[in-house]
Every structure is written in C-alpha cells, then in structure tokens.
Amino acid sequence: MSTDLPVLSPKDFASDQEIRWCPRCGDYSILAQMKKVLPTLGIPKEKFVFVSGIGCSSRFPYYMDTYGFHSIHGRAPAIATGIKLAQPGQQVWVITGDGDALSIGGNHLMHAIRRNVDLKIILFNNQIYGLTKGQYSPTSPTGKRTKSTPMGSVDHPLNPLSVALGSEATFVARSVDVDIRHLTATLERAAHHKGTAFVEVYQDCNVFNGGAFKFATDKKVKQDNIVYLEHGKPLIFANGKKGIRVNEGSRPEIVDLDGSVPEDDLLFHDEKVTEPSLAFMLARMRYPEFPEPMGVLRAVEKPTYDEQVNQQVEDAIAEKGEGDLDKLLNRGDTWEVK
Amino acid sequence: MSSTVDVPEAEQQGGGKRTETVETVVVRFCGDSGDGMQLVGTQMTNVSAIYGNDVSTLPDFPAEIRAPAGTLAGVSGYQLCFSNHDIFTPGDAVDTLVSMNPAALKTNIADLKRGGTLIVNEDAFDKSNVAKATYESNPLDDEDLLQPYRVHKVPMTRLTRDAVDGLGLTVREADRCKNFFALGLIYWLYERDATPTEEWIKAKFAKLPHIQEANLRALRAGYNFGFSTESFTVHYHVEPAKLPPGKYRKLTGNEATALGLITAAKLAGRGLFYAGYPITPASDILHELSAHKNFGVKTFQAEDEIAAMSAAVGASYAGQLAVTASSGPGICLKGEAMGLGMIAELPMIIVNVQRGGPSTGLPTKTEQSDLLLSMFGRNGESPLPIVAAQSPGDCFHAVQEAMEIAVNFMVPVVFLTDGYIANGAEPWRIPTTDELKPIKVEHQTEPNSEHGYLPYKRDEKLARPWAVPGTPGLEHRVGGIEKADITGHVSYDPDNHEFMVRLRARKVASIEDFIPEQEVDGPESGDVLLISWGGTYGAVRTAVRQLQTEGKAVAHAHLRFLNPFPKNLGDIISRYKKVLVPELNMGQLRMLLRDKYLVDAIGLNKIKGKPFLVSEVAAAIDELL
C-alpha cells in the first residue's frame, strides 16, 4: 500500500456500551450496516462524528466508537451544522427518526438541507413514537389508531422524501432496514455524496408498529410493491413483469411488460437531472397505488454550505490579511488624550 | 485665512456672538423615525468624542421601522451628554431640544429644562402634523407652553430647500437633508468642528455626488444660520475632558461585545464561532462579527434561536470559542439547548442584550428583567455563571472575562448587557496590545487514564477536559442524558445523579475563588449601601458621588459577577445600616440578595423602558438617610 489509509473493521466502530433497543428492532440492522460501511471509506475513525436528537434511533451514537453527540429533541441538524462549520474535516452523520426530524425538528431539517451542509442525515422512519411508547407520528397514515388517537388519527402524513426534495436536497434516497445489501449500498452512496445526503430508511418498530413496512420487506410480496432505482435504467419491477411509464398526462402509470410496451417507452431513471420534477414524481409513488421506489432518487452537485462559509474566511484573509488586533481596535476616528 | 481684517478667532468662529463656557451639556434630537435623528445624533457624538469631551448617549427609537409619519408612535430621539469631565450617564434633563415636528415636541418637551433651548422646525407645524400629534392647536402659538424656554422657530424645511436649490433634487430628496441643517445649527451652537461629519458625508455619498453636495450644503446652511441670524445671540463652549491619557475611540456596547469576542479568540489562538438569529437589540453583534471574517470568525445566521444555540453547542464540542447572542424572547427559546451545553459541560457564551419584556414587550427599550431568567430559566438544576457589563466600553472587557470563566470551568456563561448600553456609545480608551490578557485554552490531545480517555474526569477546578473531534484515540460521546461521573457513560443511577447535580453546582459556585473580590466605592461602613448591576452603573455611581460630596455615609457596590457573587459580598453588606438595590425590574437582584444573605434589602424599581435618572436614585437614597 502506497497510501497510509487506516485498515479498520466493523468491530473497530463498536463501542463498549450495551445496546438497549428492543429485541428484533430494525435499528440493529441499520447499526450493523453502518459499521460495515464506515471501514470501507478510508477515513480514520477520529474523523467521524455521529449526532442525534431524541428517540429510539437517537441512541445510535452511543453504540459507535466514534465522536458522538446525543443531543436534544429535533436539534441534531443544527448541532451537526455547528460541528461541521467548526471542523469541516470531519464526516458528520445525523441519526434521526420521523418524530425527531419531521415534527419537533422539522425546521432544522429543512434548513440544513436547503443550505446543503455536508451532513449525512439518516432518518429512521417507523411511523410511530417508540420511545414514548406508541403515539402516532408525522408519518403515520391517516386513521392510525394509537394511544393518542384511539379513534384514529385525522392528521395527513408527511412524505419525508418530498420534504427533502422541497427543501432542495442534493441527495435523496430510500432504503429498508432488513434489505441489507441495498441499505449498505445506499449508506455508502450517502457517505460519498458531497453536501446534505438525506436517506429515509423504513425501519420496523416491532413493538409499537410492527409490520408497517411489510409490503416492502415480505419476500412474498415485496417484488410487486417496490421498484429499485438505478441511474440510466428503466423502472422495472415484479420480477421483470411490470414497468413504470409516464403517460400523456405526465403521470406515472404501471404497464405490463408482456411485449406490448417496448422498453424504450418506460421511465428511465436519471438521478443527476438538476430539475427535481422526476424525483418528486418518484417520491410520490406510494404503496398500494404504485410500487415504492428504493435507492437514490436524486444526486446532484452544489457547493456546500460549510465549504463556502470557510471559503469566505479564507477570502477575507486573502483580501484584508490575517486579522490584526491592533488595527481592529484602532479602527475609525481616534483621538489622543494626553 | 484670506481675510485682511483682524478679527479675533473666537468671533470668526461664532459670528461675533457671545461665547459662554459650560461644563456639561445635554442635547436631544427628536423627530419622525424617517427624519434621520439617530444619524445626526451619532455624528454629534463622534465630533464631540473626537474633540475630547467625555460623551454618553441614549438613542431612543420606536420598534416600528416607519410608524405613520408625524404620529406620536413614530417619534425617534437621540440624546447625548458631553462634558469637560468624566460622566457616566446621558444626563437627566435636556439643555437643548431639537424638535423636527409637533409629535416630537409633544413627547419630548417635558424633559427640557426650564430655561433650556428649544429649536423647532416650524415648517413642520402644519395643521395635519399638529393634529397627528394630538395637539388641539399649533403649540408654537401657545405662549404658556413655550414661556419657560428659549424658543427658536426655524423654517428648516424651507431653508434646506433653498440651500440645495439648483442641484436637481426632488422635493423629497431635498427635505431628507434637513437633519443635517439641524445638525449644522447645533454644531454652531456648541462650537463643534464639523470636519468629521463632512468627511463622513463625502465617503457615505461618494457615489451620489448630488446627494453628497446637498447634505454638505444643508450642514453648512444650518451652521451659517446660527452664525449670522440674530435669532441666536450666544453660543457655548465645552472644554475637552480630562480623561485618563491614551488613545480613544467611540464605541457602542454591541460593538464592544463583538470586539471583545474577537480579541478573546485571537489571543487564545482559537476560532470564534458565532451563531445568531436577528433580534432587536442584539443584531448589531452579528453584523459587527460578520465584518471581521479575516480574524477567523465564522458567523452563522441560523433559522431560529434554537438552531443558533444548538449550533453554538456543536461548535463548542468541535473546539471553537462558541457564542450566541439574543434578547429575552430568543433566550427563552434557547433554554433547552443551554441546558444541554450545561450538562455536556462545554464552554460558550450566551449574550443577552436585555430589552423590555414580557413576551415581545418593548423591543427597542431597555430593561434588566432577565436576571432571574438567566439564573433559573432552564429545566432541572442547571446553574450557569452570569457576568454583566456596566457600560458600552466595558462590554469589551466583561465579555472576555465571561469567556475566561467559560473555558476555565467548561461551562456556558450568560453575559448580560441591555438595550441602553448596547446602543449607547461612549469614548473608549483603546487598550494597547500588552494590556490585553490572553485566555489560555487547552484541548486534550492524549488519553487521561490507563483506561483511555475519560471525558468526565476533572481537574482541581472541577472542569472536565475538552477533547475535540479529529483527535485520534479520544473518541467519546457526550449528550443530554445524565452522565456517569468520570466515564461520561449514560447513567440512571440515583446516587450518581445526585452526585453529578451537586458536582455541577459546586463547580459553578467555586468560580467565586476565580473572580476578584467585590470593590466598594465609598466609606467602608455607613448608612446606606447601594448594590447595582449592569447598565444602571452610571446613574447609581453619579447619584452616590453626589451624596458623598455632601458628606453622606453612602457607598456603592456595582456587581459584575451575579452568579456566583463575589465571596466578600456578604461581609460588605453587613457593614451598612441599609441596603438599597436600584434595578430596572421588579427587584430581581434584590430577591437573590435577600435569599443568599438574609438581608432586608430595599428596592428602587423602575419599569418604564428607560434608564434611571440620577435624580431618581439620589432621591431614593435621601429618603433612607
């Protein structure tokens, strides 16, 4: 090896803390995939920071032997922004949940994304408040019966991907906790993206909302209910039997691939298109009407916030010279008293 | 210079009119919020300071950017006091009032001394403006009203239009120059050298030559009006003040806070990170810091107050000297994240430029009503050190002392100023570089035990080490859940919780050994001790000195450190018969003093959005003697 990259393994990223998620929680899988991805990045361990808010998912930093900050409810993107601005050399991950990111912390999420701070935001979406034992969340479907909605929720849920796209996200992806290879690949893509990488992970809360994503995880049905996105490839699912085409009303429609529709008529995924309409359309394909897209919806490049904030400091130094206290204090009109 | 007639210099300057020498003068400019009163007030402050007077100012403006023109709600004022000796307040009563319209006259005339000079723009006293000011008839015709004053009715609008005639200005543009006419007249009246203002106009309007020329002409026209018309028979001379020798500049409190923060970071060799959300009256700190990025200052205008506080916490974790500033409503929002900074034991400064509350309250007016918020405004047992500045220039030093406490004790520090000292200005003796004391900041770079890095292992000051992300081998987690002693692991152990709560409180309390002992101005024992804090310093000090010169046994302790208190404060209190606590609130410091020292402290409390007058404090002391 000519380079001096650290050789690390998943074990090196495990902290000595006992993991306290419920047995069979989807969080275990996400933690395991994260520990697999980090050693592949060629980044020394001390260069990672994991920041979280409050909620089950937010325990995540304690289980990683990296720098970490388990903060307060909803504020992780803001705290992470402070860290990234202060230490642009760190790779900063934000671990959050549907309540943390979209309810109490909605404002910070939106602004971190629109600024394009170089953060990797992983939203564990289980459509429920788990830590507080089972209230409906901003992603719970309308009609959801929970402890706080005994007659069914009358809220309309947020679509996390739409929120990210509406906030002008440069990287938007979705994966599922138990889809190990896909999740690993998606986290890896997020890690390599320069700018805010927003990843929604369908995560099963088997205690308070078990099976919420069965449509996307059950091997018997999932091929009909999800469609894997690949850049430059047509949208095909159901073991190659069905595809997605854009109809004359510019709406997606499902077509049978029985020979009557040529493959060229299908929707070809383009994650790099600057204009976000395609990504929006994909984000709004929801089960059961459509198969839900999995993978990278959007990956475009824009200057990052942290880079530009630090560049302005460099520019100011280049223009005015390194700050001179004596000059600063003596600026403007001065006079002598003898 | 070209004159061949031998005229005495004083007469050349004053148009041959009588000059009176006076010690201290209070001038107030008031007009509509669109009349540029803050601007001319600032210019007058600059020229007076540069001339060598001591100066103290009180800008007073409405919360609305432009309330309806001519109304009482839209009146904006700028008061300044300049003197041949050191002064601590902008003055109780006004010697010369410049009133640009009837509304300004209505809201300000009560503050003009009997026998004082009243200069009005008589052109603005038309029927409509008179009605808007809720006068039943033109007050300039009301002899009873004006009888106590020396009144000069000057047609400023017309004279300004005449002065700028030929420059191709619209009427609106021409009329906007009349503040400089008023300023020019005052410059003549008080023998001010207009050069700095002329230079300012030239620079400010360099790209708009006709506006530049118009303002210069208006300024000169105002000056010449005083010089040549018979309306004014006397003008005044105020000698420079005998201030401590050194180089001076004018500084507002917010500027001083910003410069103090830059200085602290530069001398510590660390980056300064500032996160803020715009709020009156704290925004100028953000503006000032944003202009000095070449000092390695990173500023972050956050999406809200909570984000600003949170980003400061993050930046502190990442090793920077982190600061946020706001005012009452914003500080309320920051409370939760301040608590996080407290339990994570990270150093940072939270600046609260206090304003009138509660809720939105009086955004542009001053008050001291956030002391108890600073003490107790977080959930759980969450004591934070509190440092308060006493004057505009003092913000420079006090904020550095706050930072020194923060990094030495690994704790967020609340730094209190208020609208009065934040917007007020005074001459400031510029410290020489060797007078500045560098703050020592150390980051942990090596494991501190055989078991690796223990983030909550403490030094003799009970401070924990500060290891920064990026340091190999010191990876660790912090957070808001209760920490196990030494290891910093999550702990729900009851004994550990009580131990840690008491430990954090003890750490903050032990700062009393770090800060200087309290000083007292006046006799070591006596009849009345005044205890004050923050921006009331000037009024209290002046009132106490007055009574001291009358031979009264009155002393003054002005507190800079409000949590913890200096350790000799209890002893000081016990040496006086009575304790008077003047505050611009309902008695917040008094409550803390009564609690800690079981002293029957008496309050002098004012909640009008305005600073104390010296006379108010003096009268309250007199009552106790």
- pLDDT recorded at residue B2: 37
- pLDDT recorded at residue A338: 79
Closest residue on chain A to B321 (Cα):
A86
For residue A141, the Cα-to-chain-centroid distance in whole angstroms is 20
Q: What is the mean pLDDT of residues B288-304?
A: 97
Report d(CA B415, CA B374) in Å as an integer.
9
- Chain A hits for B295, CB-CB cut-off 8 Å, are 323, 328
- B358: preceding bond cis by omega (within 30 degrees): yes
Chain A within 8 Å of B312 (Cβ-Cβ)?
yes
Report d(CA B265, CA B54) in Å as an integer.
30
DSSP B43-56: HHHHHHHHHT-EEE
* B9 confidence band (pLDDT: 50, 70, 90): very low
Question: What is the tens place of the pLDDT at every residue in A79-124?
Answer: 999 999 999 999 999 999 999 999 999 999 999 999 999 999 999 9
Shortest CB distance from A323 goes to which of B292, B469, B471? B292
Chain A within 8 Å of B301 (Cβ-Cβ)?
no
Low-confidence ranges of chain A (pLDDT < 50): 1-2
The sign of the dihedral angle between the CA atoms of B3, B5, B6, B10 is negative
Q: Taking 50 as the threshold, does the pLDDT of residue B177 lie above it?
A: yes
- pLDDT recorded at residue B76: 93
Chain B within 8 Å of A38 (Cβ-Cβ)?
no
Question: Looking at CA atoms only, how far is residue B273 from chain A in angstroms?
Answer: 7
Q: Which helix (H) or strand (E) holds B118?
A: strand B112-121
Question: What is the tens place of the pLDDT at every residue in B397-442?
Answer: 999 999 999 999 999 999 999 999 999 999 999 999 889 999 999 9
Question: Looking at CA atoms only, how far is residue B193 from chain A in angstroms?
Answer: 14
The fold of B249-435 is Rossmann fold (3.40.50)
Q: Is B398 helix (H, G, I), strand (E, B) or coil?
A: helix
- Top-level CATH class of B9-237? alpha beta
* Residue A108 to residue B273, Cβ atoms within 8 A: no
Task: Give residue for tokens 């697999």.
Answer: A36
Question: In percent, how much of chain B has pLDDT > 90?
Answer: 93
Q: Own/partner pairs for B371-375, CB < 8 Å, 24+ apart? A: B371/B416, B371/B533, B371/B562, B371/B585, B371/B588, B371/B589, B371/B592, B372/B588, B372/B591, B372/B592, B373/B328, B373/B331, B373/B332, B374/B331, B374/B414, B374/B416, B374/B562, B374/B563, B375/B562, B375/B563, B375/B592
Q: Is B105 helix (H, G, I), strand (E, B) or coil?
A: helix
Any residues with CB less than 8 A from the CB of B2 and at least 6 apart, and which? none
DSSP code of residue B444: B
Residues B101 and B35: beta-carbon distance below 8 Å:
yes
In chain B, domain spans: 9-237, 249-435, 526-624
* Residue B245 to residue A337, Cβ atoms within 8 A: yes
Integer-rounded Cα radius of gyration of chain B: 27
Shortest CB distance from A79 goes to which of B313, B468, B476? B313
Fold identical between B249-435 and B526-624?
yes
In chain A, domain spans: 10-222
- Chain B hits for A336, CB-CB cut-off 8 Å, are 245-248
* Residue A69 to residue B479, Cβ atoms within 8 A: yes
Residues B562 and B386: beta-carbon distance below 8 Å:
yes
Report d(CA B100, CA B175) in Å as an integer.
12
Chain A within 8 Å of B471 (Cβ-Cβ)?
yes
User: A281 φ, ψ to 5°?
Assistant: -60, -40
The fold of B526-624 is Rossmann fold (3.40.50)
A vs B, Cβ pairs < 8 A, gives: 215
ipTM entry: 0.97
Alpha-carbon distances, residue B609 vs A114, B74, B325 (angstroms): 39, 16, 20
Shortest CB distance from B248 goes to which of A17, A84, A335? A335
What CATH number is given for A10-222 in this structure?
Answer: 3.40.50.970
- Which of B61-75, B178-192, B329-343 is the least confident region? B61-75
Q: What is the mean pLDDT of residues B486-513?
A: 97
Q: Is B142 helix (H, G, I), strand (E, B) or coil?
A: coil
Q: What is the mean pLDDT of residues B387-394?
A: 98
Closest residue on chain B to A337 (Cα):
B245
Chain A within 8 Å of B267 (Cβ-Cβ)?
yes
* B15 confidence band (pLDDT: 50, 70, 90): low
Closest residue on chain A to B480 (Cα):
A71
DSSP A202-240: E---TTTSTTTTHHHH-TTTHHHHEEE--TTSB-EETTT
Question: What is the tens place of the pLDDT at every residue in B186-206?
Answer: 999 999 999 999 999 999 999
Q: What is the mean pLDDT of residues B563-569?
A: 98
Residues A56 and A21: beta-carbon distance below 8 Å:
yes
Question: Looking at CA atoms only, how far is residue A65 from chain B in angstroms?
Answer: 6
